[in-house]
Structure formats: C-alpha cells, structure tokens
Amino acid sequence: MSTTQIQQQELKKVVDTIPNRIKTFKIIVVGDSNVGKTSLTYRFCESKFIQTSEATIGVDFRERTLHIDDEDIKLQLWDTAGQERFRKSMVQHFYRNVHAVVIVYDVTNRASFDSLVYWLDECDRNCFTNVPRILVGNKCDEKLEINTNMAQRFADQHNMPLFETSARLDSECDNVEAIFLTLAHKLKNQKQLIPVDVVGQTQRLIRANPVNDNSSWNCCLRS
C-alpha cells in the first residue's frame, strides 16, 4: 500500500517537471567576454571547434542528447553574451528555470578570473535553488596566467568542481565531454529542486578522465 503511494508521488513529480518525456536540463554558461563560452558549448554539441567565432548577442542555444544509465537525457546549453550591459536587464530571462550553471574563465586572462566573484554573485541573486555550479578554465593550451592551485582554492571556497580544458584542441575533446557528462550525471541523480548541500566538501580537480568522474559527483551527492 505504502509503496504504491510513493510510486504515485514519484510519477507525479516526473510528470510535473518533465513534460517532453525525455528529461531535459537547462544549463546556462556564463563568464566574461571572449573566454570561450561559445566555443565550449559548440565543441560539446557539435564535437568541433568554431574557427570564426563571433560575439554572442543575447543568448544562443545548443542541445545534445546523452544516454546515461539506460536513459536518454537532454542537455540544453544556453550560451549567454558576456558583455555586462546585456545582463543588467536581460539576466532574469537567462536564469529562468535553470538547472545548472557553468561559469567559464580564460586561464590566460587574469581579469576573467577576477570577475568570477561577480558571476557567482549574479548566480546567487538569480537562482532560487542552490543549483549545481561548475567552474571551467578554458584555453589551457596556451600560456597559463592563472595557475591551477589558485583556481582550485577558489573553486573549493565556493564549493564548485574545477575543470581545466581547451575547446580548441581535439586532444582535449574528451575533457570537454567529461565536464558536461559529470554535470549530466549529477543532474540526473539529483532529486528535483532539492538543493545539493555540499558545504564542507572539498571537490577535487578533474582532469580529462571520465572514469574518475563518478567519484567526484558521488561525493557531492552523498552529503
């Protein structure tokens, strides 16, 4: 008797949150101008590097369906404009019903790292739930301006996993894949709209290795 009740409840939850049968998650990608938000999402969704990347105006949208644990889930990536003026009055459109936030900085550009505080603040102000956030340092094929330790410390302080990658290099393709797969796993296993409390957990830097991913998102979920 009690089991059927629970099932019904779960069913209701599923119907409530997923109208298109296939689980869809909205992920927004934020960060300073020219850090490579478009390149990253393009790399993940099209498995290619954009040669002639342009400034994003407003918000661009890409999606990809993944098959995880015998289930299809769809990641919708909303690639937002980096220029600050777009955010002042458009930002609520971007963050509406968002499931996760990817914050990107450019490892060759200190200013983009310094702005992370600003992006976190924007995220706090616009996400009601404590949505999962991940930090991505892009362009690691070039000369590092921000060393990994510093970035890791920042990520730990704010309870985010850190990834360093390059959207340009084909060899890093797996890494980009791993970033979004990690996120997909986390989103899939997380109960809808219940904030994941990761206080007190130190999350480790994950380098292009999907095998190790499990441990990382499990540790976030276990808390």
Partner 1 sequence: MESNSEIINADDETSSTLNDDSSKLYTNSAEFISSEENEDTRSELKFDPVLESEEEKSKRLEIEEALKDGDSALETWRRLALGKYGLVNDDLRRQVWPLLLNVDPDPSEKAPLLAELSQHSEYSQVVLDVNRSLKRFPPGIPYKQRVALQDQLTVLILRVIMKYPHLRYYQGYHDVAITFLLVVGETVAFRIMERLSTDHLRECMEPTMEKTSYTLTYIYPILQREDKDLYEFMDSATVGTMFALPWYLTWFGHSLNQYRDVVRLYDYFLASPPLMPLYVAASLVIDRRQDVFDVGCDMASIHCLLSQIPDNLDFESILQRASNLYKKYPPSKLEKDVKNRVQKELEQRRKDEQRIRRRLDKNRAAWVKMRHYLPNWLLLHYRNKYGLLFATATLLVGLYAYLRATETGFSLFKQGPWNI
The binding site for partner 1 (CB under 8 A) comprises: 20, 24, 26, 33-34, 46, 48, 50-61, 63, 76, 81-83, 85-86, 88-90, 92-93, 96, 128-129, 193-195
State whether residue 96 is helix, strand or coil: coil
- HEC assignment per residue over 4-59: HHHHHHHHHHHHHHCCCCCEEEEEEEEECCCCCHHHHHHHHHHCCCCCCCCCCCCE
Provide the minimum distance between the beta carbon of 164 and partner 1 in the complex, in angstroms, as a whole number: 22
Provide the minimum distance between the beta carbon of 208 and partner 1 in the complex, in angstroms, as a whole number: 24
Nearer to partner 1, 33 or 189 (CB): 33
Provide the minimum distance between the beta carbon of 90 and partner 1 in the complex, in angstroms, as a whole number: 6
Question: Which residue blocks in the chain are alpha helix, DSSP H?
Answer: 2-17, 37-46, 84-95, 110-114, 116-126, 148-157, 173-189, 210-222
Nearer to partner 1, 59 or 208 (CB): 59
Torsion 212-112-57-130 (CA) sign: positive
Nearer to partner 1, 24 or 148 (CB): 24
Nearer to partner 1, 162 or 183 (CB): 183
